[in-house]
Amino acid sequence: MSEFDQIFVTLKHWLLGQLANVVPGALLPVLSALLSIAAIIMVFATLFAIMTILERKGLGRIQNRFGPNRVGPFGFLQPAADGIKALIKEDLVPRAADKVVHLLAPVMLVVPALLVYAVLPIGRNMVAIDFDAGLLFFFAVGAASELAVFMAGWSSRNKYALLGAMRAVAQMVSYEIPLILSTVSVVMITGTLSPVKMVEAQVGQGGWLPAWFVFTPWGFAGFVLFMIAANAEANRSPFDLPEGESELVAGYFTEYSGFKFALFFLAEYLGLFAVSGLGITLFLGGWQAPFPALEFIPSWAWFFAKLLGLIVLFIWTRGTLPRLRVDQLMNFAWKFMLPLALINLLTAAVWHYMPPGSPRWLVCSGMVVGPYVLLGRGLLAGKHVAKRIYRYAE
Amino acid sequence: MTPAFLIIAVLTIVAAAGAMTLRNLIHCALAVAVAFVGLAAAYLQLNAQFVGFAQILVYVGAVAIVIVFAALLTRGGEPSSEAIFSKTWFAGLGVTIAVLGVLTWAITRSVVTQRETAPAPEVTVKQIGDALMTKYVLPLEVIGLLLTAALIGAVIIAMRDEVKK
């Protein structure tokens, strides 16, 4: 592969080689780990800054207004201004709050959000730790953030915060099941839990399409389920009940200010990038180019191009869909997504055992579309679905 | 005894002691979660990746959440004003010492101490998967069926909406 593709790997090796002359050899593994950590924190924190401005401008466009346009050219220095503001703001802690837990909660939220990047392959040979059980690590560490959300809501001693935390935890626990089940089909097909090997399993072309899993019936269904569940895990619209402004002020982080408030946003967006990165790794071929002719573009650039694509999708969804009700949210997870995810496992098994060809496509597509239509119709049966008529508020 | 093991052991024991002695029930639950994390770290230190991650996923991600939910839904947030130690603490102490004595006696006299410690096996996740799919496939299938049935059963119970009049 081209040198440009491996430029960061080469750079790290060169730096370590230079450092080997200065520091004792026992420290080198630690320094190597620190270099990877520094790169991950810098890159994804910058991406966070870029996304905040993209999101505010994108939402502004969708809502027919300008969005931030005063700080710097086209308002693109707004994140810097926001960061400085968050740093110099007074840090308010309610008198009744549980001080220790209140302080620990935002930290506990950011740490797992950063830890999960350790197993994401963001380019060829670019993964911090190649765990055998990488996928398990991702979900195990991600599960720790639920407790942090609860800590934030409970320690604030505020009704809105506690209600928001209860909603958030219930929602994250519910949507974790379809999230994990939709990835199990990929584990079944590739026979590994390592994200690096999952990317390697999607090398090459299948017909005129790249051999990415999203271009198979079960992979497409799995990807859609995964993205919906990821949206809910990140507490973003239309699943933003835990922080629904019109009901709960700001949900579980109502009583936070200054930089702790910024940490909540950072953790939320870092979690969103991480779960999108996992979706890319599992279904969209990871860092691979879609066609061999495009392989001159380095692998990390492909990863971030796909990531930006998914981010735009998330912003678009947020600007388009209204918020769900609590019962709708739970019904959707348990009665619709869970059965579809289970059926998708069966579809993946059928796909694996049928010989390649059009019968396989036909059968598996039927197994995806059929349950979707039947389940959707069945759940809507007997329900009155029509334009809502407002009797008093018009 | 490596420094890493010492740190993990102290963290786990202090967190477990905190879970027993803290006044506020939610603090106790959070301390239990820390003790779970300490146990997972101990597994990871023994190179048991799968068990370590499963410990975090199941105990920190699910069991700790269930505990705090149960605590929140069943009582108020205020810590109780009663004494932490019950009035019969001396009886408990006696039982503890007796159990500890019997266990120590049993362990020191058992044949395990005379056996040579086997070298730690290098078990990868792949090997665990292979064993689950070949030797232990029947128990795995039974558990899988049971859990899926429980999952679907719960959904079916919740499936029917209450018909409003």
pLDDT one-digit tens code per residue, A227-253 = 999 998 888 878 887 777 777 777 788
| The pLDDT of residue B162 is above 70 | no
Q: Report ipTM (2 d.p.).
A: 0.77
A392 in any annotated domain = no
Alpha carbon distances (Å) from A182 to A282, A346, B33: 10, 11, 27
CA distance A109 to A113: 7
Alpha carbon distances (Å) from A289 to A29, A201, A306, A308, A320: 32, 14, 10, 15, 30
Residues paired with A123 in a beta bridge: A126
Three-state secondary structure call for residue A123: strand
pLDDT in tens, A285-311: 888 888 777 777 888 888 889 999 999
Cβ pair A133:B68 closer than 8 A: no
A386 in any annotated domain = no
- Of A281, A253, A256, which is closest to residue A268 (Cα–Cα)? A253
DSSP track, A57-122: HHHHHHTTS--S-SSSGGGTTHHHHHHHHHHHS-----TTS-HHHHHHHHHHHHHHHHHGGGG---
Range of the domain at A232: 7-380
Q: Which of residues 283-302 of A touch B (CB under 8 A)?
A: none
Alpha carbon distances (Å) from B3 to A85, A129, B13, B38, B45: 42, 23, 15, 14, 11
Q: Give the single-character DSSP code of A332.
A: I
pLDDT in tens, A125-173: 788 788 778 888 898 888 888 888 888 888 888 888 888 888 888 888 8
| The pLDDT of residue B163 is above 70 | no
From first CA to last CA, the distance across chain B in angstroms is: 69
Identify which of A2-11, A249-258, A312-321 has the greatest average pLDDT.
A312-321
Q: Which residue of B has its CA nearest to A188?
A: B129
Q: H or E element: which one contains A205?
A: strand A205-206
Q: Which residues of B touch A (CB under 8 A)?
A: 24, 26-27, 30, 33, 37, 49-50, 53-54, 56-57, 60-62, 64-65, 68-69, 72, 77, 124-126, 148, 151-152, 154-155, 158-159
Tokens encoding B136: 């232990």
Q: What crossing angle do the helices spanning A258-283 and A299-320 adopt, rounded to 10°? A: 120
- Which of A104, A129, A137 to mutate: most B Cβ within 10 Å? A137
Mean per-residue pLDDT, B71-84: 66
Lowest-pLDDT range of A231-240, A265-274, B64-73, B155-164: B155-164
Cis before A238? omega within 30: yes
| The pLDDT of residue B97 is above 90 | yes
Give the total number of structural domains in chain A: 1
User: Residues B145-150: contacts with CB within 8 Å, 24+ apart?
Assistant: B148/A342
pLDDT in tens, A339-384: 899 899 889 888 888 888 788 888 888 888 888 888 888 877 777 7
A375 in any annotated domain = yes
CA distance B95 to A356: 67
Residues A288 and A302 sit within 8 Å (Cβ to Cβ): yes
A391 in any annotated domain = no
Report the CATH fold assignment for B1-77: Four Helix Bundle (Hemerythrin (Met), subunit A) (1.20.120)
Q: Which of A136, A173, A339 sits opposite B65 (nearest CB)?
A: A173
pLDDT of residue B165: 47
| The pLDDT of residue B81 is above 80 | no
- Per-domain boundaries in chain B: 1-77, 122-165
CB of A144 less than 8 A from some CB of B = yes
From first CA to last CA, the distance across chain A in angstroms is: 64
Those residues with Cβ within 8 angstroms of residue A118's Cβ, 6 or more apart along the chain or in another chain: A40, A127, A128, A129, A131, A137
| pTM summary value | 0.84
Cβ pair A154:B62 closer than 8 A: no
Residues A283 and A222 sit within 8 Å (Cβ to Cβ): yes
CB of A169 less than 8 A from some CB of B = yes
